[in-house]
Amino acid sequence: MTDRVKRKKNKKRGQRTMGAGNTKNRRGAGGRGGRGKAGTNKHRFHTAGRLKPRLYRMKIVAPKMDAIALGKLDLILDDLVAKGKATKEGEKYIITKKSEFGKVLSQGEVTHKIVLKINASKGAIAKIIKAGGKFDFAKKDFVQEEKLEGEDDEDLEFESVEEDKE
């Protein structure tokens, strides 16, 4: 003879709330602040604002763009070009906002010439320039030193100007 399976409802009998927690938890829609979109201009304003910020005149938050390590970026350059998220001109790879990276960090080594048109850390910029690449992004407190072709520091001669003291 088979055993009869006891129903959960019957197991809960004899307990005051039958597994519902506090007795106030099962009091209809009032226990959850109303049905549907009720209260979106009152007590549920913060959640409605996140869902439709323009409707509720709230600031639109841009999607967060992730940072990437320089070594990892160097490894996936060809994949980015294949997906159309980066371009290649000759030996140089051009990384723009299409790549969906917010910032390049300095961890790792560079083997390719990279032209960065997104934000990067100071260490990453130094490594990219040392590898023959270029940093082309408006960054505060950063001035890129460009050498003109045919000019070396040794070849420059400075004339000394003496002022007459009167």
Per the structure block, which two tokens stand in for 48? 């409605």
> Alpha carbon of 87 to those of 49, 70, 75, 130, 147: distances in Å?
38, 17, 15, 21, 25
d(CA 119, CA 122): 10
d(CA 163, CA 166): 9
d(CA 97, CA 118): 6
* pLDDT recorded at residue 146: 57
pLDDT digits (tens, 9 = 90+) for 151-162: 555 554 545 556
**Which domains, from first to last, does the chain contain?**
31-61 (no CATH), 66-135 (3.100.10.10)
Higher per-residue pLDDT: 164 or 61: 61
pLDDT digits (tens, 9 = 90+) for 38-60: 888 888 887 777 777 777 777 77
pLDDT digits (tens, 9 = 90+) for 83-95: 999 999 999 999 9
* pLDDT recorded at residue 145: 62
The answer, yes or no, to whether residue 149 has pLDDT greater than 80, is no
Q: Is 29 helix (H, G, I), strand (E, B) or coil?
A: helix
d(CA 28, CA 50): 26
d(CA 29, CA 40): 15
The dihedral sign for the CA sequence 117, 118, 121, 127 = negative
